[in-house]
Amino acid sequence: MIFKRIVSFFGIFLFLLFCFSLDANAGKYKDFDTGAGTDNQEVFGLVIPGSGGATSVSVTNPIPINIYSETISEKITSQDLSAAVLDYTTDYAAKVQILGIYIHSSVAISETITLKLNSNQGTNYDSVLTAPYTMSSESYYSFRPQDLVIGASDEIDIDVTAGGGTGTVYVLVRAKVLN
């Protein structure tokens, strides 16, 4: 499931309305500088306070606002441990930053979780992300790496044993797509 955070034109307008002064009354004077309170700037439209008085906003004098969007990718899977082990590999086609790997089980289980990085450079470059973790009558595990960025075609391999043979495990891998 992919979420996109997009700033709408209406949202920008409201932001500007609250952050800056908008006065549609032609002939209305406002003191926008830090001086002695002399109303010397006629205002019609959007202006920004400045040290020498109000600065109007226009095509030739735009407000420097950066607008960006962010794409969060969520990969999910589940496995009934009474049927088989969980062996899941992500399939990212783009460079991503892994924000977290979350594993939840329907019942408290005693199984081993292994997280590995499968490098697109070959098996010589694969690495274990965490030491194998054995859940002991637990139902939740999370791995939140700091600054783990994987390239396009690099993958995360998630394995959960099924020695106890009960319960269903649910996996969520959350990542931010990088451009």
Note if the pTM is more than 0.85. no
> Which of 50-54, 102-106, 141-145, 163-167 is predicted with the least confidence, judged by mean pLDDT?
50-54
Structural domain harbouring 12: 2-56
**Is 66 domain-assigned?**
no
Residues 6+ apart with CB under 8 A from 86: 77, 79, 158, 159, 160, 162, 169, 171
Residues 52 and 80 in one domain: no
Residues 161 and 134 in one domain: yes
Residues 106 and 20 in one domain: no
Residues 90 and 153 in one domain: yes
Look at residues 53, 47, 55 and name the one whose alpha carbon lies nearest to residue 34.
Answer: 53
Residues 111 and 171 in one domain: yes
pLDDT of 107 > 80? The answer is yes
pLDDT of 53 > 70? The answer is no
**Is 63 domain-assigned?**
no
Residues 98 and 40 in one domain: no
Total structural domains within the chain: 2
**Is 77 domain-assigned?**
yes
State residue 147's pLDDT score. 87
